[in-house]
């Protein structure tokens, strides 16, 4: 009899429940580049780790199960996963993207692959009319982040999926911020889900990883071919680190989200803060929609200060919170998007979005929340 397992149980045990050959509870790190054949045309199923490795396979299958997909593919970084998706297209193809998204994604589409003839249009994907108006005869896909980075804009995945279906387009959703614990885009109509596994999946700021999850066998086969051919594959050790991180994903996210809401409310009530961008605040524009399509709000927020001079003061004076790029780890990080994650976004887009010299982003960790609030309070000053 097959027992239906919950998210938490799959996360803790993985799809295999450990190593069936030895009984090891912690799935082994198969630190091998190549595998011996038992004879001519008699492979063990593993030939060369760029093609597949048992540790990476366990990680991929575990994430696929959590995300509700048929298969997942592990990459060396999140950007490598996005690059593999781009390689599904050819010169002359057109892709529509969220205008508020990770700066590295923007750079890939607007610079690197523009040189190869790929066309990209960045629109406000919270407005379905803008999406439809951007569709051309050569449009092949839509790429969205929700909540977006760093302004936390929420896009209606089901509505965009319907547009994609009507126009025979692929829908790619970057689910890094909420992870499959809080949001499952495939169940809402997405064709491909992307993760920067460096962030919440790994959860400890000690690895680089990226993942693609999909249901369509043709898409998966094409992506696996790209994956093996381009070589940006997830290493056995980093695969194991992601597996370890996933075991506590639900616990870390729940605690971090709890902290984030308290920090958001503190900032929202501070007279020196102009606005807080957090999906978990009931007065935030995307709050109701996010509740409709997700089970959580995540652990990332942005906030705008009233006085620009306060930026340097905060960044120089936080003690518990670390001034560093990235997000999704157990430690709380503060980032200055205009000079860090979004430095290469064109000025006109940054200005329209509000990514300016007054904006900071927080990735809230699992420390004692009073320590985090006191740290911010001291850094902001009276």
pLDDT, tens only, 194-218: 999 999 999 999 999 999 999 999 9
Candidates 3.40.640.10, 3.40.309.10, 2.30.30.230, 3.40.228.10; CATH matching 7-247: 3.40.640.10
Please report the pLDDT score of residue 314 as a whole number.
Answer: 97
Strand 192-196 vs strand 210-214: parallel, antiparallel, or unpaired?
antiparallel
pLDDT digits (tens, 9 = 90+) for 139-180: 999 999 999 999 999 999 999 999 999 999 999 999 999 999
Please report the pLDDT score of residue 103 as a whole number.
Answer: 87
pTM for the whole structure? 0.95
Which H/E stretch holds residue 141?
strand 139-145
pLDDT digits (tens, 9 = 90+) for 54-89: 999 999 999 999 999 999 999 999 999 999 999 999
Please report the pLDDT score of residue 347 as a whole number.
Answer: 80
Across residues 247-256, what is the average pLDDT?
98
The beta strand positions in 34-132, using DSSP E, are: 71-75, 94-98, 119-123
**306: pLDDT strictly greater than 50:** yes
Q: What does the buried/exposed string (b/e) look like for 159-196 if buried means 16 or more CB atoms within 10 Å of the residue's CB?
A: bbbebbeeeebbbbbbbbbbbbbbbbbbebbbbbbbbb
Distance, in Å, from the CA atom of 89 to the CA atom of 7, rounded to the nearest integer, reads 33
Q: Do domains 7-247 and 249-380 have the same CATH topology?
A: no
Q: Any idea where the domains of the chain sit in the sequence?
A: 7-247, 249-380
Please report the pLDDT score of residue 10 as a whole number.
Answer: 96
Distance, in Å, from the CA atom of 286 to the CA atom of 276, rounded to the nearest integer, reads 13
Please report the pLDDT score of residue 2 as a whole number.
Answer: 53
Domain 249-380 has CATH 1.10.3720.10: no
Q: What does the buried/exposed string (b/e) look like for 254-276 if buried means 16 or more CB atoms within 10 Å of the residue's CB?
A: ebbbebbbebbebbbebeebeeb
Please report the pLDDT score of residue 348 as a whole number.
Answer: 81
**272: pLDDT strictly greater than 80:** yes
Please report the pLDDT score of residue 3 as a whole number.
Answer: 58
Q: 3-class DSSP state for residue 92?
A: coil
Please report the pLDDT score of residue 1 as a whole number.
Answer: 42
Please report the pLDDT score of residue 204 as a whole number.
Answer: 98
Residue 284 buriedness (CB in 10 A; 0-12 / 13-18 / 19+): buried
Under the banding of pLDDT at 50, 70 and 90, the label for residue 340 is confident
Active site residues: 50, 102, 174, 199
Q: What is the pLDDT of the chain when averaged over all its residues?
A: 95
Closest CA to 190 of 225, 218, 154, 162: 162
Please report the pLDDT score of residue 259 as a whole number.
Answer: 98
**254: pLDDT strictly greater than 50:** yes
**323: pLDDT strictly greater than 50:** yes
**353: pLDDT strictly greater than 90:** no
């Amino acid at each position: 009899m097959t027992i239906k397992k919950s998210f938490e149980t799959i996360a803790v045990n993985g799809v295999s429940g450990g190593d069936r050959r030895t009984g090891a509870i912690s799935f082994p790190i198969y630190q091998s580049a190549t595998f011996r054949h038992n004879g001519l045309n008699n492979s063990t199923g593993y030939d060369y780790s760029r093609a597949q490795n048992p540790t990476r396979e366990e990680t991929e299958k575990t994430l696929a199960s959590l995300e509700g997909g048929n298969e997942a593919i592990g990459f060396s970084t999140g950007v490598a996963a996005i690059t593999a998706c781009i390689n599904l297209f050819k010169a002359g193809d057109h892709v529509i993207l969220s205008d508020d998204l990770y700066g590295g994604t923007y750079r890939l589409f607007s610079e690197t692959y523009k040189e190869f003839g790929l066309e990209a249009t960045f629109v406000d994907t919270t407005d379905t009319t803008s999406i439809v108006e951007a569709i051309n005869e050569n449009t092949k896909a839509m790429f969205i982040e929700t909540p977006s980075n760093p302004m936390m804009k929420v896009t209606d995945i089901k509505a965009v999926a319907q547009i994609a279906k009507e126009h025979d387009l692929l829908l790619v959703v970057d689910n890094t911020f909420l992870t499959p614990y809080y949001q499952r885009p495939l169940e809402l109509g997405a064709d491909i889900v992307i993760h920067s596994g460096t962030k919440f999946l790994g959860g400890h700021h000690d690895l680089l990883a990226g993942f693609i999850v999909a249901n369509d066998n043709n898409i998966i086969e094409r992506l696996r071919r790209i994956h093996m051919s381009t070589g940006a594959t997830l290493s056995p050790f980093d695969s194991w680190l992601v597996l370890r991180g996933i075991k506590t994903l639900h616990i870390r996210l729940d605690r971090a989200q709890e902290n984030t809401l308290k920090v958001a409310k503190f900032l929202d009530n501070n007279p020196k803060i102009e606005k807080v961008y957090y999906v978990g605040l009931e007065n935030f524009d995307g709050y109701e929609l996010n509740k409709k399509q997700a089970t959580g709000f995540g652990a990332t927020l942005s906030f705008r200060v009233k006085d620009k001079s306060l930026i340097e003061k905060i960044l120089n004076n936080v003690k518990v919170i670390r001034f560093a790029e990235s997000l999704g780890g157990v430690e709380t990080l503060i980032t200055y998007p205009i000079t860090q994650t979004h430095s290469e976004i064109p000025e006109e887009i940054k200005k329209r979005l509000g990514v300016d010299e007054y904006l900071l982003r927080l990735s809230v960790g699992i420390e004692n929340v009073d320590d985090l609030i006191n740290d911010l309070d001291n850094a902001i000053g009276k």
